[in-house]
Structure 1
């Protein structure tokens, strides 16, 4: 049974059972992941998952149900379970989006990626590995080399006439290496997200990952104190990702955000803008409608340092007496509707990464952060994190530091941003949307070198 057939049968039978509002959401995900180890394929995983869920009003209550099967039996199964679920739920009924609305006409799906064959992916990975190993004698091993071709399709239908469909796809590439000089071992990694297989430049990837690993050799201790700091783009993006939940109206309404009551107030330096843009061509979370069918739009969440809004879905917006911002989110067809950003990032400026630390008499560049889940409190904003990076003297990088512990408060960091780079990247490790940042110059952080 097709999705369209499932929809028609559900809505017809749902009306007979007394559903006054009925919504069908479906999604389909396909991915091929290929990994190499020492030139040979050691991972070849193909995944094809689809499922659907319904949400409907029955006797004044909201009921949910989901299925992985699209057949006649699923119609009765979904409606029966939604009725039973509605009878058990004590929460207030949820509002479904039934309005007529205009949506942006944007194509996020790249047909070019459908032409990428498994043998193309394998050959690319082999070339990268071979070139890395021959580039520098200090490179001892390529520890991880993977590529994933992923496509995603979703649709949302309502018995009042709403019919929405959208698709997205992207190519993920990741490589990590181990370098050694005497007894010192260091690592480096490169992550890429692309809509075009042919734009992945092997020479550029090899140069970046090898230079990154080798640059960490020769680590030294430096005095423990407050330093002016440059958070390199990937480190800045991962820090923002850790505290993104603070901008969610769900967290605010549950007293899990320090930003409660701060709309309209200054929460960051005056030159800081935080943008949520669901229309980025290469954005993993790009979409023209959210998980409730509300049209998405580009928003300045923080504009010139001032908090403009939280992320809202219909439920949180109704509670605050405002309009939804189009940030309803389902982690899967099995999940309930929550709140999450799309492509959320600090707006880049014009300084290069090098210009940001050029004025330091003594300072620290932080290249990556670890322990983000255990060493950070998303409510208070406090963090104490393991970090890698470089010591800067008289505006120039002297060399790598031994592993550091960096402590501070995220909300104070926002206030203390003195410079913003032009090198926007998005965090590969984010679990709260597609989160990005350029490199940031911070007034000061407490740094302890282990």
Structure 2
């Protein structure tokens, strides 16, 4: 943990200014962020930003007010508290508003903070982005350009305290490199991308990111449009991460309570294959978005959302938990001190199976590997579950990867895709997002091509 005691002192001070009859929450945060982007063997952009401030919520009966200040100055914070009180007075009444209360779950001790990352000089970060671009350019003569090569790092620390007894701290560091490139042959181009993720610089492996990008781009050269059919597909880990991210959004308390989820009335039902176990676990230190506490200061915990195909849980913050007549699951999410808490999944992953991707391909025999999708969020309706998105990938023939394919659509529904899961890979991949990837086999999916 970093030296965040000063943040706790500030939070305690603000909460100590609470008046009789009101509940007060203070969220104190401080962060640093650097992004370096290389292009055409030079630095295209370099940005570094620091942020600090306090967000204050005041609950007066069934009304809530919020205000924030980007400073730790006591006089300004006192004015911000007054503003939050005024906002509460004029807010619309809501019987479910209220602050989180301690629930007896201990805050886990997670090793997420690496002070060494803060000591890396800017010159080294620039060099990494340039090295990554050069590694991709020089890897294969068919690489015609690098669209972007970037190094990103972030440090965040926060404290949440309230009159209801919440008092918790969290801190973390994270960094990654990412690259996107173009491959060209016979006048046709294809794109590829790669990542490497960690909590400190020594975790980053440039060669992994470069190799992934080059392979993804070059193996699709010469791609053609397949004939329309129904087929078994294997989702690449990055595609799976996007799919389960959408599924996770349908399992939030807010979506369910507002009737915006295809699973709203299905708690306890069998909604997927027995091979399917979907977990949201921000206590997993391997997750890029791991954190000891949620956005309201409650302890992070492991929530099994779907267990052996059975829908076992929705995720809640204090507000939706109260509305649903249950409790928070430690899933309050917020964009820092400047916002009030929402609700959502924080670190999703499928329980892995026993086979890696090559073994899964051999098991499938004939089908399609989906290496990337286009327009996922516009092509998937999280309310009805309808799923239709553009895709590209490779044909699977006799258990081996074959001809590259592009300009086709895969279509089904989220509900049917969960039921039609035939295998989950062992190749879990932690990505710079709130969901981990893994190879996923789904049978009987509509392929629309020629």
TM-score by length of 1: 0.93
Offset of 1:4 from its aligned partner?
A: 4.9
CA 1:202–1:186: 2 relative to 1, 3 Å? same
Determine the structure 1 residue equivalent to 2:370. Answer: 366
Structure 1 residues 44-63: aligned runs within 5 Å: 44-58=46-60, 61-63=63-65
CA 1:315–1:235: 2 relative to 1, 3 Å? same
Determine the structure 2 residue equivalent to 1:80. Answer: 82
Superposed structure 1 runs of 4+ greater than 6 Å apart: none
Which one of the candidate residues 138, 141, 146 is aligned to 2:145?
Answer: 141
Which one of the candidate residues 181, 206, 209 is aligned to 2:210?
Answer: 206
Aligned residues: 443
CA 1:138–1:100: 2 relative to 1, 3 Å? closer
CA RMSD in angstroms, aligned pairs only: 1.9
User: Structure 2: where are the runs of 5+ without partners?
Assistant: 1-5
Determine the structure 2 residue equivalent to 1:92. Answer: 95
TM-score by length of 2: 0.93
> Partner of 2:82: helix, strand, or coil?
helix
292-301 vs 50-59, greater mean Cα deviation: 50-59
Structure 1 residues 124-273: aligned runs within 5 Å: 124-159=128-163, 161-273=165-277
Determine the structure 2 residue equivalent to 1:443. Answer: 443
CA distance in 2, matches of 1:69, 1:395: 59
For 1:242-270, what per-residue CA distance to the aligned partner results, in whole angstroms no more than 9, with x for missing partners?
A: 23211111110000011112111111101
> Partner of 1:243: helix, strand, or coil?
helix
> Partner of 2:50: helix, strand, or coil?
strand
301-310 vs 419-428, greater mean Cα deviation: 419-428
CA distance in 2, matches of 1:335, 1:8: 19
Offset of 1:5 from its aligned partner?
A: 5.4
> Partner of 1:73: helix, strand, or coil?
helix
CA 1:8–1:197: 2 relative to 1, 3 Å? closer
Offset of 1:281 from its aligned partner?
A: 1.4
Determine the structure 1 residue equivalent to 2:356. Answer: 352
Query: Contact (CA 8 Å) 1:61, 1:93: kept in 2 or not?
Result: no
Offset of 1:361 from its aligned partner?
A: 4.8
Query: Contact (CA 8 Å) 2:159, 2:297: kept in 1 or not?
Result: no
Determine the structure 2 residue equivalent to 1:280. Answer: 284
40-49 vs 286-295, greater mean Cα deviation: 286-295
Structure 1 residues 424-435: aligned runs within 5 Å: 424-426=428-430, 428=432, 434-435=434-435
Query: Contact (CA 8 Å) 2:226, 2:449: kept in 1 or not?
Result: yes
Offset of 1:26 from its aligned partner?
A: 1.7
CA 1:435–1:80: 2 relative to 1, 3 Å? same
CA distance in 1, matches of 2:246, 2:125: 32
User: Structure 1: where are the runs of 5+ without partners?
Assistant: none
Which one of the candidate residues 409, 420, 423 is aligned to 1:419?
Answer: 423
Query: Contact (CA 8 Å) 2:128, 2:151: kept in 1 or not?
Result: no
Matched, 1:394 2:398: yes
Which one of the candidate residues 328, 332, 336 is aligned to 1:332?
Answer: 336
CA distance in 2, matches of 1:273, 1:294: 24
CA distance in 2, matches of 1:59, 1:203: 57
> Partner of 1:341: helix, strand, or coil?
coil
> Partner of 2:138: helix, strand, or coil?
helix
CA distance in 2, matches of 1:59, 1:350: 53
